A and B are shown apart, each in its own frame.
Chain A
Amino acid sequence: MTTNTNLNLRAEVKDLSFSYGPKKVLNRVSMPIYENRITALIGPSGCGKTTLLRCFNRMHDLYAATNYDGEILLHPEKRNVLARDVDPMEVRMRIGMVFQKPNPFPKSIFENVAYGLRVRGVRKRSFIEDRVEKSLQQAGLWSEVKDRLPSPATALSGGQQQRLCIARALATEPEILLLDEPTSALDPISTTHIEELITELKKDWTIVIVTHNLHQASRTADYTAFMYLGDLIEFDTSDKLFTTPRDPRTENYITGRFG
């Protein structure tokens, strides 16, 4: 594994194992997450990408019989978000997530973006309005929706809904943004749109993205982790991983020989 000492770490996964009941899904995974960089998780379906991503914001805590072992340290204070005494809600306040399928709430466009602020008890109207506008701008959606903020979010197209979900996650200024195959339910044009957006976002955000689209990973991600059957096989800069993979399994996967 290459560690880059010139970059700031935003988080660090250390010896992370995870199981759904008796079924072990992650095996001692370790990897760095660099600040203002995009890190992609790739690997064949079922290898544990989603599972790993959902460890970062403790989504697994919502369900019974899920077990973490190991650490995810959030820098700079190196706090282990998986520690028992850490409230999952607090973690989710700091780490945002966008899901595979766009999931806007059946509320107005405005209220969707304002949701995270509202649950944090923010009341000040002008503050919320400013933040909603800023987030929609960052998500590249502002010009399309600025005249219809009170209309239902569910009336937007799939691509717009996904950008709305990104805006919704950005509104609370999370320290890390998790994206789980954010374009897998979208058409090619919306996909390109979101990819451009993600590249744009890395100026201000640290992003971890799961994708099964290798071109997407090589185009957008600075770092890529290849996972296979719950193991992290290889982690490197995308350039190196896609041109000169060190592990034969990585090579087989990126050349399309399995998966």
Chain B
Amino acid sequence: MKERFIEAILFLAATSSVFVTFGIVWILVKESIPFFAHVPLGEFLTGTEWTPLFENARFGILPLLCGTLLSTAIALSVAIPLGTVAAAFLSEYTKPWLREILKPILELLAAVPTVVYGYFALLFVTPLLQKIHPDLGGFNVLSAGLVMGMMIVPYVSSLSEDAMRSVPGHLKEGSFALGASRFQTIFRVVIPTAFSGMTSAYILAISRALGETMVVSIAAGMQPNLTANPLEPAATITAFIVQVSMGDLPHGSIGYQSIYVAGLTLLFLTLCFNVLGLWLRQKYQEKE
């Protein structure tokens, strides 16, 4: 009897996240259905303007999608190389005592409130970039993306380091015994062996970048702008959601529904990257 009770509790705990996920999906879908009664799906997917709050409202998701993917790409181009190198350094080069000091410091990067990063981008990084490129506006995707990248370095490095450290010592010794340097051993044996574990780190970083709100809201300008130029301002899906939900929209209006549609799009995007990650992981595991 007691066993059954404990089992039930454990089962609930284990499945609660599944329920929450389904709950979120259900609400997003429910609120999105009336939206698509007004706006045809084709227009939503191909429209190049996103102005849901204007008199003459347009509902093309492309500008938001573009802003989201661009800021994520910039962030990843910072976080993945830096995070991977940091992980390799921590797992292969440092003495244990130094690692014990460096790791918490690195992880502190993830503990800084994102609003601080937002203003750091706006008030420090943007002026710095303006010194190099004077035409750069006060709001731009580049600065937001770079800072976001810094912010998610620990997400990449922490999991990557775990993956690298779990590479068996006898494989590394095998490489050294063939005359390889430490650097060669890391790039030719440790990283390829750890790669399936490292993809989890990368996927987490992507999800984190896609969902990041504060930094882009503060530093990128909140202007839905269909451009691939990182020097221009733009809005991401999340920035739009914050912007709109801070105003007071009548419940059930199309503007209100557009928040849910944007949310659903983001969820879908994240899901796509996770599936891609899973596929990559499996592909690399097969190779082992």
**Cβ contacts B157-170/A at 8 Å (1 or 0 each):** 00000000000101
Most buried by A among B173, B176, B184: B176
Say whether B174 contacts A165, CB under 8 Å. yes
By a CB distance below 8 angstroms, the chain A residues around B189 are 105
B180 contacts the other chain (CB 8 A):
yes
| B-chain residues with CB within 8 Å of residue A115 when the two chains form the complex | 175, 178, 180, 188
Assembly CA distance A16 to B178 (angstroms): 24
Complex contact A168–B287 (CB within 8 A): no
Residues of B within 8 A of A59 (CB): 173, 176-177
Binds B, one of A91-99, A208-216, A222-230: A91-99
Fill in one digit per residue for A86-127: 1 if any B CB lies within 8 Å of its CB, else 0.
Answer: 000110110011010101111100000001101110000000
| Residues of B179-218 contacting chain A, CB below 8 A | 179-181, 184, 188-189, 192-193
Shortest CB distance B167–A (Å): 9
Q: Are A64 and B173 in contact (CB under 8 A)?
A: no
- Alpha-carbon separation in the docked complex, A104 to B288 (Å): 10
B178:A172 contact, CB within 8 angstroms: yes
Interface of B is mostly: helix
A62-B176, A96-B177, A165-B174 known; A119+B184 contact, CB < 8 A: yes
Interface pair B175/A105, CB less than 8 Å apart: yes
| B174, A119: Cβ atoms closer than 8 Å | no
Check A97–B180 contact: CB distance below 8 A: no
Determine if B171 is an interface residue (Cβ-Cβ < 8 Å).
yes
Residue of A nearest to B96 (CB): A64
Chain A nearest Cβ from B31, distance in angstroms: 47
A239–B178 CA distance with the chains assembled, in angstroms: 33
Q: Which residues of A lie under 8 Å from residue B180 when comparing CB positions?
A: 89, 115, 119
Assuming A103-B171, A105-B193, A119-B184, is B177 touching A97 (CB within 8 A)? Answer: yes
> Chain B: interface residue count, which band?
20 to 34
Q: Nearest CB to that of B172 among chain A residues?
A: A62
Shortest C-beta distance, A150 to chain B (Å), equals: 11
Instruction: For A121, give the chain B residue with the smallest CB separation.
Output: B184
- Is B95 a contact of A64 with CB atoms below 8 Å? yes
Contact B288 A154 (CB under 8 A): yes
Q: Which of A62, A90, A99, A165 is most buried by chain B, counting CB atoms within 10 A of its CB?
A: A62
Question: Across the interface, which residues of A come within 8 angstroms of B188, CB to CB?
Answer: 105, 115, 118-119
Task: Tell me how far the C-beta of A81 lies from the nearest C-beta in chain B, rounded to whole angstroms.
Answer: 13
Contact A103 B176, beta carbon cutoff 8 Å: no
Task: Give Cα A104–Cα B189 distance, bound, in whole angstroms.
Answer: 10
Q: Which residue of A lies closest to B180 (CB)?
A: A119
Residue pairs across A and B with Cβ atoms less than 8 A apart, 5 shown, are: A59-B177, A64-B95, A93-B179, A115-B180, A119-B179
User: What are the 10 A-B residue pairs with the smallest beta carbon separation, nearest first?
Assistant: A93-B179, A106-B288, A116-B178, A97-B177, A119-B180, A103-B174, A92-B179, A103-B170, A119-B184, A106-B193
| Supplied contacts A59-B176, A118-B188, 14 more A-B pairs, CB within 8 Å | A57-B177, A89-B179, A93-B179, A96-B178, A99-B174, A101-B170, A103-B170, A105-B171, A106-B171, A106-B193, A106-B287, A116-B178, A119-B180, A168-B174
